[in-house]
Homo-oligomer: A and B are copies of this chain.
């Protein structure tokens, strides 16, 4: 078939023919079939596009089907195309299989000429309206179909406005418009590639041809290149009867949502303008009326109750069919509603959840469907922590609330420092005069950003909103001295390392680290997450390095802590200096003495964690990073440290130099450190045991697990495990302590995957560390990849950043192999995964396919992972 008609409740096409009819054409056909009033018309398919472009015009065999379609359209519209008294006007619009908004041509008001315009004027009773429509048509047609540059039309319009002493074409009177049309037609006669056709049928053929050809236009080609669309066959062309919202106060145009666009609650929502065209609503020159107002408020419903009834019926039909909240553009022509377009509404996250849950309660959809209505990635936008309302606070300064949420951390003044501390898992707030694209990585590393300059559209504001990082910008009273690493507000001066807290919802900045609490979440959220949990095939735990983070994670639904990075604890307060003494120690004995100073702190940290996670597992990873990360960077700080310890400057420098590595990621870290310096893990394991005993004595149900990092060989694990088990001996007899501590191995290098069977035989659990594993499998470091990964993604060599989305073909295959070997060797083994990808919905979907027992991600990714796992679980069951 070459022409797909729709109108009068019948359509040749349907919603499933997107490839053939384009998104728009398929949607119009589907709505027509549903009994929704769309202006009747017909669609010429995408399959004609290439032929028309190559042939330079419509093929001759299309004439008859086109005539037949026009005749059907005339019957449906009750007007005739080209009729001198009551002419049917047509719109000709593009519509490809993938939407390309703004990139292709549209011609409206096809069918006007010097005769029909008079009929339109008579019929509408509005001569000005008719000639304005004619003016627009000559301009659009002349430009798109006949190749006359916009410039000429704009020049003529300027002259006309100047002559009439008005600023806008809408203010021109009929006489002026008549003159302008005549000038436009002269222009087209002079510059057009062919003469202006007065015959409506010839206009239509030329308009369809021009719209098809716009597929190869510069804008369309560059649009597809930018979005990497292959575009498929080409565009379809939709020809529709024109409807007019400008025929008096009983006409108009608007946008409606099938549910409240702010809350997602049931009830029609929207805006409209009486006596207006499509663009008028968007232009913002006139204030629109609500579709439904508060009691007594002026609204579409109060003015035109029948139109409200029509819209309500349409909304009900559409939702019942699409089963999502819809946003629709409509025109009212003399109290009759015409739907021009409908599409899924993009609601704020909490509204989308509310609507999805309500729709289940209304019986419209099933819980499994409700899950698919919510994009897990967008969940983050509603999951910002808040400052504990009860926390005492001292305001430092305030600025513009640029990106919501609260964050606290120590202040840093450079991108380099932000990244360096973040790597050590220290929470930082980046303080800048303003940010630049060079800061992007650092901004991702920071918990929050404040700037002294810039507004709500500044780089800092835009980027932090995209990233979901809290920010406060334009703190004008704050003076930033990045060189000296200081900031001052009046008398108050802060240095790098001082803690602050920012509130991206209020724009306030406070001194010190204020207590943060998780967001208040809606009942609908809880309902949705409960449904997600019901479909999940994998447990979601959280990474947490402190009792505060662990508390958040638990409130956000984490089933345990899958990764405690113990090194973080060494950075708090003065402990770092003790840790430095551990590193510079000249003997095992000296090292052991320094470690003994650290032990009580570790015990305290662990006890707090166990208390918060009462009854849930807590996996403590023993020290992982290379030792040089703990040393000061600056030589003078190093020497000062040495002086305090009674080590010569020269010796301190020598030790620091020896610790430096060419490839730290591939160096002396993880369990390799523990084999060289067993005292470190001895202390940490003992601290865990001591904390277990203390917490148990307080009635806490402790579920502690010890995790050994960077294992590449079963012998490493055996050696360390035996040592830890020996250390446990004295604790075993204590009341309530388990027979044996739970010990597991990280799987974060390729070899550990290959050895997973042997590792599993001596482990209670295994934990994949996918950041490092990805690094090992690709031979690619996350930090250094930044230099070329963008080029890879642009060229399509990598589809995704493998550090963000799990590489199923490579890393995933190795994980599956490891899991298979591990379960075969030890059927009781528990298997987890932690890494950035643990919070990525696509990765979670793959992982829960029986691969691992639990996933551990950062606290605020817990809901994302729960939902993503629920979604894929639901898909697996259906």
Contact = CB atoms under 8 A, between A and B. Distances in A.
B784 A667 contact: yes
Contact of A672 (B715, B788, B811): B788
Interface stretch (A228-236, A494-502, A735-743, A794-802): A794-802
A755 interface: yes
Given A715-B798, A792-B675, A784 B751 contact: no
Q: Which of A663, A673, A787 has the most CB of B within 10 A?
A: A663
A787 B780 CA distance: 22
A773 to B, nearest CB: 9
A784 B715 contact: no
Most buried by B among A751, A780, A810: A751
A791 B663 contact: no
A713 interface: yes
A667 B719 contact: no
Interface string A628-664: 0000000000000000000000000000001001111
A400 B609 CA distance: 68
Nearest to A783: B662
A797 B675 contact: yes
A686 interface: no
Given A710-B779, A748-B779, A777-B749, A795 B662 contact: no
B778 A712 contact: yes
Contacts of A672: 788, 792
A813 interface: yes
Contact of A810 (B751, B787, B807): B751
Contacts of A796: 715
Contact of A754 (B751, B781, B784, B813): B813
Contacts of A791: 675-676
Contacts of A676: 787-788, 791
Contact of A716 (B664, B715, B783, B797): B797
B784 A668 contact: yes
B661 A784 contact: yes
A809 interface: yes
Contacts of A665: 662-663, 666, 779
A206 interface: no
Contacts of A775: 666, 779
B778 A719 contact: no
Given A675-B792, A712-B778, A712-B779, 17 more contacts: A661-B783, A663-B666, A663-B783, A664-B784, A666-B781, A667-B781, A667-B784, A675-B795, A676-B787, A713-B797, A713-B798, A716-B797, A719-B795, A749-B778, A749-B780, A751-B777, A751-B807
27 contacts: A661-B781, A663-B784, A665-B779, A666-B784, A667-B780, A667-B784, A668-B787, A668-B788, A672-B792, A673-B788, A675-B788, A675-B791, A675-B795, A675-B797, A712-B779, A715-B797, A716-B797, A719-B795, A748-B779, A750-B750, A750-B779, A750-B814, A751-B807, A754-B777, A772-B779, A775-B779, A776-B777
